[in-house]
Amino acid sequence: MRGPLGAVIGKYPSSDGGVAEKGDGIIKHNRKCRDVVFLVIFIAFWVAMIVNSSFGFNQGNPLRLTYGLDYKGNVCGDRHADPDLRELELRYWVNPNQVYESGSKDNQAKLSNARTICLMDCPIPSEDSLNWVCDYPEGEVRLSVDDWIDRNYDYFADLTPDLRNTSLQLQGPCYPVIFPSVNVYWSCQLISRASNVSLRHWREMGGVNIVEDIAVDKSIHGLINSRSLVLKRYVADVGKSWGVLIVCGGILPVFLSVIWLLMIRHFVAAMPWITVVLFNGLIVSVTMFYYLKAGWIGNDSISPIIGEHDPYYHVSAREISHLHAAAVIMTAVMIISVLSSIAIVRRILMATSVLKVAAKVIGEVQALIIFPIIPYAILAIFYMFWFSAALHLFSSGRVVQNDCNTNCCAYDLKLKRVSCDRCCGYSIQYTSHIAVAIFFHLFGGYWATQFFVASSATVIAGSVATYYWARGGTSPEISFLPVLSSMKRLLRYSIGSVALGSLIVSFIESIRFILEALRRKLKVSNSAPESWFGRMVYNSSQCLLRCIGWTIKSVNRNAYILIAITGKGFFKSSEIATDLIISNILRIGKVNVIGDVILFLGKLCVSLASALFAFLMLDTHKYNIGHNKISSPIFPVLVCWFLGYVVATLFFAVVEMSIDTIILSFCQDSEEHQGTAQYAPPLLLATLNDQTEMQRLTQ
């Protein structure tokens, strides 16, 4: 029978259509550069990524993700501002009546136009007098910023009678501290409980009426919990926890993956059981940490308040509700995962037999264990650049003055008069091209990840195929360093094909992500189809996209194997791989599925362990107070989870691609030689040609 590779294996053809000498071997036959157009596209993509990132580095300021703007448009904490704000990181609304008006339903004023300055700590009312917070010292106020800070931002006693009068009219330069405030995500949240002592002193001095209303509290609370600021805080959390990302997303997954590979090599019979038990234990542990941080277990829930504060102050935050939702989702995932792992217990022995194949290959081609270090190092360098550029892109935009009709005149110390020219506050303007740049950066990061993973898988497949088609290393034609030879073939001939395959996966996943976002938006706006037919089509499209994505990933993996073996282009290799799988579906199906499940659980074990250790590191004192305090562990943990899974994929590809390459090669070898594999090495024939073993694998 002539199978899909009959012309290749049976006659050792060259890529130019001729017939190579038999000594050249199946792997060493003449090749051509394939899918060169997509290699050019990939190079152009990298150039565009560099240009796009340069835009972020030039226009972005990561401080904007954490700190707010003052009434001059300066970012709090910016040492390059005027004045120097390097230690003044908290945004404070000096005029309580403006805060009230912005929260009143009958007023069109916006909180973004209320007068704010940057302070080192949030002011609190005095117990026996009236405290003041005065504007930045400049003009006729002869104080340095350091002296202003040392005097608790108060120089009211040094003002002239005229300036005191404008201050009593809430026009500055000094403003009374009537409401207590607390540091909530680097903004001073006013608590709508006015100090009776301070309010009495204010009235005795002849100050204008200050409104006491819950709107004073709600106005700032609503701004702090707006979706845009929450997203900025999440992105900022990733930047603050870079040490956690390096340890739990980079170093720990490598260590755990290498340990897993070594255990596969020496304790293959026990590894499926160990993997299932560890997976269940880790997913339960991670779920419990979500419960802890959500406040459903113990007293270790996250708090939006930074630093010491009155224990009677309780401030809610959107991050806490997100943790509640994450805890519920993790509970559902945990239940499904535990039940699924119980269901596959009876198939564990089959997985053991499949893993023996990979263990034999790893034992013969030992360089495979350390090879993933190369793509890992490249990917680590890429991620450091990518995350840094992402922080700058998310914080890019122009600081512009708002357009408003608010009457908010204030005394200008430089002009020495009350000015109404700066009634409007400042905000960061994001244009449509910034959104496109961010989306392109996200897509580029995903494509690059898929490309490096695919390249690693192709090199491994080429190494294992060299081992197989040289009869397990007994042929003198096999390269002394099959991994190095496979790398050379990839870089010289097949890099364009890998770029094409990774692009297809990235494109399909991006389309699915966009449609999923649209689905959620329609659901929120109650625009989802109401008829049963509409709902059926609506949900079926999502299911179809998931199936297409899974199928393409599966086809790609097998296409990379055929690319490594034959040197054909991506589409031709995909066609050959599909035909080969269909013709041997009964032999491959059950063998591969259970093996892939165990390998998938192994990857999840590494990523869950990374997430668990990320929780532990983020629970330390460093990330709970001060500048490094994170708003929520959700994003850093998810990033560590993702990085751990990517690293595990790179290392586990040694086992995964070894199994798939050996099985595909064995099936084709058997078809080419009337059911008896001629190229299978003795160590593999002992397992794959054992009739009892094969019957148990395929039943």
Residue 694's pLDDT is: 42
| Alpha-carbon span 397 to 73, nearest angstrom | 13
Q: What is the pLDDT of residues 392-450, one digit of tens each?
A: 999 888 888 888 776 677 888 887 888 777 678 888 888 888 888 999 999 999 999 99
pLDDT of res. 24: 38
Taking each helix axis from N to C end, the angle separating 227-240 and 634-672, rounded to the nearest 10 degrees, works out to 70
Predicted confidence at residue 409, as pLDDT, reads 79
How many angstroms separate the CA atoms of 152 and 685, rounded? 82
* Cβ atoms 395, 62 nearer than 8 A: yes
18 DSSP assignment: S
Q: What is the pLDDT of residue 276?
A: 87
* Greatest Cα pair distance in the chain: 107
DSSP classification of residue 254: H
Give 187's strand partners.
91, 184
The identity of residue 354, as a single letter, is V
Of 92, 261, 232, 271, the C-alpha closest to 176 is 92
**Joined tokens for residue 297:** 């277990």
Give the residue from 127, 119, 229 showing the smallest Cα distance to 182: 119
How many Å apart are CA 30 and CA 22, to the nearest integer? 12
Q: Is 692 exposed, middle or buried (0-12, 13-18, 19+ CB in 10 A)?
A: exposed
Q: What's the rounded Cα separation, in Å, for the pair 19 and 7?
A: 10
What whole-number distance in Å separates Cα of residue 8 and Cα of residue 219?
A: 72
Tokens describing residue 82: 């005027």
Residues of the chain below pLDDT 50? 1-25, 474-479, 524-525, 528, 689, 691-699
pLDDT attached to residue 11: 37
Token couple for 311: 């224990």
Q: Which residues contact 258 (CB under 8 A, 6 or more apart)?
A: 369, 651
Instruction: Spell out the long-range contacts of 317-321 with Cβ–Cβ below 8 A and sequence spacing 24 or more.
Output: 317/184, 317/185, 317/224, 317/225, 317/631, 318/225, 318/227, 318/230, 319/230, 319/233, 319/631, 319/632, 319/634, 320/294, 320/295, 320/632
Q: CA–CA distance from 479 to each of 189, 476, 486, 684 (Å)?
A: 69, 8, 10, 19
What is residue 641's predicted lDDT score, i.e. its pLDDT? 95
Residue 542 makes CB contacts below 8 A (sequence gap 6+) with 515, 516, 519
Torsion over CA: 215, 221, 224, 230 (sign) = negative
User: Are the C-beta atoms of residues 274 and 153 closer than 8 Å to each other?
Assistant: no
Give percent helix, percent strand, percent coil of the chain, each to the nearest 5. Answer: 65, 5, 30
* CA-only gyration radius of the chain, Å: 32
What is the chain's length?
A: 699
In the prediction, which pLDDT does 27 show? 63
The number of helix segments (H) and strand segments (E) in the chain equals 25, 10
The single-letter code of the amino acid at 240 is K
DSSP for 147-204?
HHHHTTT--GGGS-HHHHHHHHTT-SSEEE--S-EEEETTEEEEPS---HHHHHHHHH
- Bridge pairing between strands 132-134 and 174-176: antiparallel
Take residue 258 and report the two structure tokens written for it: 């290498």
Burial label for 626, CB within 10 Å (0-12, 13-18, 19+), is exposed
